[in-house]
Amino acid sequence: MPQEAAQLHGLAERVGTPFYVYDAALVRARYRALTRSLPDAGFFYSLKANPNLSLVGLLVAQGAGAEVSSRLELETAVAAGAPAERILMVGPGKAEADLERAVSLGIKAIVVESLAELDQIDRIAAKTGRCQPIALRINPNFKVSGARLNMSGRPTQFGIDETAMESALARVAALDHLRLAGLHVYMGTRILAHETIVENTRGILELAARVAQTLPEPMAFIDIGGGYGVPYYEDETPLDLAALGEAMRPLLRGFCETHPETAIAIELGRYMVAEAGRFVTSVRQVKASKGENFAVCDGGSNLHSAAAGQGFMRRNFPVSLVPHPARQSSPAEASPWSVTGPLCTPMDVIAKDVSLATPAPGDLICIHQSGAYGATASPVNFLGFGAPAEIMIDEGTATVVRERAQVQAFLDEQMPRQISMRPAVTEAALPAPFDHPALERLEAVRPLFETTGGKLAQDPDAWRDLWADPMVRALTMIGVPAEYNGFPLAESGLGLEHCPHDLHVALVERLARFDAGSILALQGPSLAGGALDAVGSPAQKERFFGAYRSGPQGTFFAVTEPEVGSDASAGSAVLRLTDRGYVLSGSKMLIGNVARAQIGIVFAKFEDSGRRALVLIEPDRVRAHLTITRLPTTGMSGADLCRIDMRDVPVAQEDLVAAQSERPSLRDGFMAINGVFERYRPVVAALALGNARGMLERLARHGQANAFASEFRSHAALIAALADVCADGMRGQAKGHRISEIKYQAVAFSDALVARIPRDAPAVMLTDPLLRRKMRDAKGFEYMEGTSNIHVLNAYRAYVAGVAS
């Protein structure tokens, strides 16, 4: 028995039939032949022909780009290693979410099929602050003959009519977030005559040349389509690739010489992979009916609808019989046979009156030329048979590159899930800066924040995972003066040069949707940095901020005490003068990050005068005088709340922040840093609102968006109020009572949501661990800036004065 037949039966025994099998060597050979014949063109593999991940990866490894028409094809191309600048997206009805993903990736071009789509893509790109390259697909006035299926030159859903091209070009020029990268024309498919392809290309290039004359700058590429055919039937002649190359090379080079900045792109699917694939099915029964012979197989039109003629192909594909090695007798002489599948329909015929030696149960039947438009172009789920396995042969090694569909997977997909019949929640547009394009780009770090948030409860040093991300490094440095910042925002990919305070609040709210605790774990300047920057000396600023030139540095700000909370006037941490100088003693509690910190500030008072003081401490230098105890908390593990007990900590003059007599504001320690607290409280509100929004998003994932519609609206209203508070601050008119009010409202909203979830969505709570973590985190916001007397005092002062605080 021939070796190949033995191999096919070996595969059938191991993976079962039916299956598709692809020859990697043939795919590589075809791609090399194309690049040799047409060296001036760049080739893009059309995934619609066969989106198998391994097959796409094989072609990408050879240098092919990817042409995609759906979200799954786009993600397949990315997973296969195609760089964004080598991906084209085509199709007449692209989904909004697919366009958003394409824009976020920055693909080579989105091929636009209508004037309305131009406006749609511009709007999406504007939200992210990007300028998206696009190509106009033109439906030209000229026609092509010789294509089995014409897709241009006639009324069609594809592309923009040539007569409307001038309007389309003007529209592109008027839209700020689009850039015309090229033109795309696809005339037809299954073209076997090279002369037809040449004439088709000539017409496209002439059209492109006319358009180029009207543009202010050269186009990056012209996509001349493809449509190269393969022979399926006995009377068809293969495309003469050598003759095609001889005729096309001078045509392409001539265009490139006159348009040196414009590349030529060719998109091919069928021609690259069809002849490298076979469909293999096993004979189950043979029978005769009214004078006609039938071989009934385990795979039919449900898995290979093209072979069954359910499309525009109406005749037999190349078919061969591979007898089972255990057959006792040789097959009889060839005679006409019809090959059918197992379906309950007379249309399930994949070969009609084909000449075969008499088949028997257990034999294999191969349908050749089946590498393109096979299973993924067929109704694989009809009668519940499911998709077949797919196998790749490469240098003698067989690999399953798609598993056969499993019955349980079918059943799992049909588990009932109740949904609301009410209209979906429509959210109001958010005010500035909560609509800033940079916020959408933060989505890239959502998985990192969600994963790290889960680690922080067991490992307080999991913050290092956050620091490893360049975008998060830049976010960590917000609040570090520019002269000390080694990781500026300009290098973050967020499209920001600097971050005003109101945008900082918006960034915190968005990140808190992912994981609030991870924000508190970032080893940046935080509240202590704000205080030091406000009242520190140049030497103290260098000491505090200098480390940020090269890496992270944890900080802390210690105000709250065990007995008196954060009442600065009643604090008992004291600076006592000894014969060796000042020493600091006392206890602080609910101090975030001190166990991880390299430097921080302690709020204290002088024992002899009662004057308030801010003391700069580096824990590692005075470790013998400190006891740091991590506190158990319900949520917000990233804050790493601790108690710190200080025993005669040596304090030098340079450790006293703004202790000079000319700084009278330090006579009241609270008033000295009041401005810092006022800038911090909107951040606390943002943390609470972001975490609450994160809970709502988890609920929406489980179909609860409408049930919690009022909470979505409340969140939007509170964001609007927070935006107003931030706007007051940016105008220099911060109002203390409004700042305290929004912080209270945000925390109260979060608490109310946590109380409602167990009552109205208990099943979601029990099955969603990320939701439960966010609910626990919501209980930690009361510790974010000490006890409530800070808010009461500040609100009372501003209210009585009747002026902005």
> SS in 3 state form for 17-81?
CCEEEEEHHHHHHHHHHHHHHCCCEEEEEECCCCCCHHHHHHHHHHCCEEEECCHHHHHHHHHCC
3-state secondary structure of 797: helix
User: Within its chain, how far is the Cα of 446 from the centroid?
Assistant: 9
**How crowded is residue 710: how many other Cβ atoms within 10 Å of its Cβ?**
10
Determine the residue type at 399: T
What dihedral do alpha carbons 375, 380, 386, 389 form, nearest 10°? -10
What dihedral do alpha carbons 774, 777, 779, 780 form, nearest 10°? -160
Cβ atoms of 672 and 657 closer than 8 Å: no
Cβ atoms of 798 and 736 closer than 8 Å: yes
Distance separating alpha carbons of residues 107 and 112, to the nearest angstrom: 13
Residue 33's pLDDT is: 98
Distance separating alpha carbons of residues 36 and 193, to the nearest angstrom: 19
Bridge partners (DSSP) of residue 591 are 642
Residue 145's pLDDT is: 60
Distance separating alpha carbons of residues 731 and 727, to the nearest angstrom: 6
DSSP run (H or E) holding 604: strand 599-606
Domains assigned to the chain: 24-91+141-274 (3.20.20.10), 275-409 (2.40.37.10), 437-522 (no CATH), 537-667 (2.40.110.10), 675-801 (1.20.140.10)
Cβ atoms of 172 and 118 closer than 8 Å: yes
- Three-state SS for 521-551 is HCCCCHHHHHHHHHHCCHHHHHHHHHHHHCC
Backbone angles phi, psi at 664, to 5 degrees: -60, -20
Distance separating alpha carbons of residues 742 and 681, to the nearest angstrom: 9
Nearest to 617 by CA among 551, 548, 533, 528: 528
For the residues of 340-404, what is the DSSP string, one character each? E-SSSSTT-EEEEEEEEPPP-TT-EEEE-S-SSSSGGGS-TTGGG--PPEEEEEETTEEEEEEPP
Distance separating alpha carbons of residues 271 and 371, to the nearest angstrom: 9
Q: What share of the chain is helix, strand, coil (3-state, %, to 5)?
A: 45, 20, 35
Residue 128's pLDDT is: 79
Residue 147's pLDDT is: 44
How far apart, in Å, are the Cα atoms of 616 and each of 141, 547, 554, 601, 659? 77, 15, 14, 5, 11
Torsion-angle region of 303 (φ positive above 0: left; ψ -120 to 50: alpha; else: beta): alpha
Residue 800's pLDDT is: 43
User: Is 366 tagged catalytic?
Assistant: no
Nearest to 390 by CA among 749, 792, 20: 20
DSSP run (H or E) holding 183: strand 178-184
| Tokens read off for 63 | 């240098």
Q: Report CA Rg, the chain.
A: 35
Show the low-confidence residues of the chain (pLDDT under 70): 1, 143-156, 158, 311-314, 328-331, 422-427, 565-569, 659-677, 782-805
3-state secondary structure of 585: strand
Residue 417's pLDDT is: 79
Distance separating alpha carbons of residues 681 and 686, to the nearest angstrom: 9
8-state DSSP, 187: -
Distance separating alpha carbons of residues 523 and 477, to the nearest angstrom: 9
| Tokens read off for 793 | 């005092």
**How crowded is residue 764: how many other Cβ atoms within 10 Å of its Cβ?**
19
**Cβ-based neighbours of 666, under 8 Å, separated by 6 or more:** 535, 611, 612, 613, 614, 658, 659, 672
Residue 775's pLDDT is: 95
Q: How many Cα atoms sit within 13 Å of 294 on the Cβ side?
A: 16
Residue 309's pLDDT is: 83
Among the listed residues 131, 297, 344, 726, the single catalytic one is 344
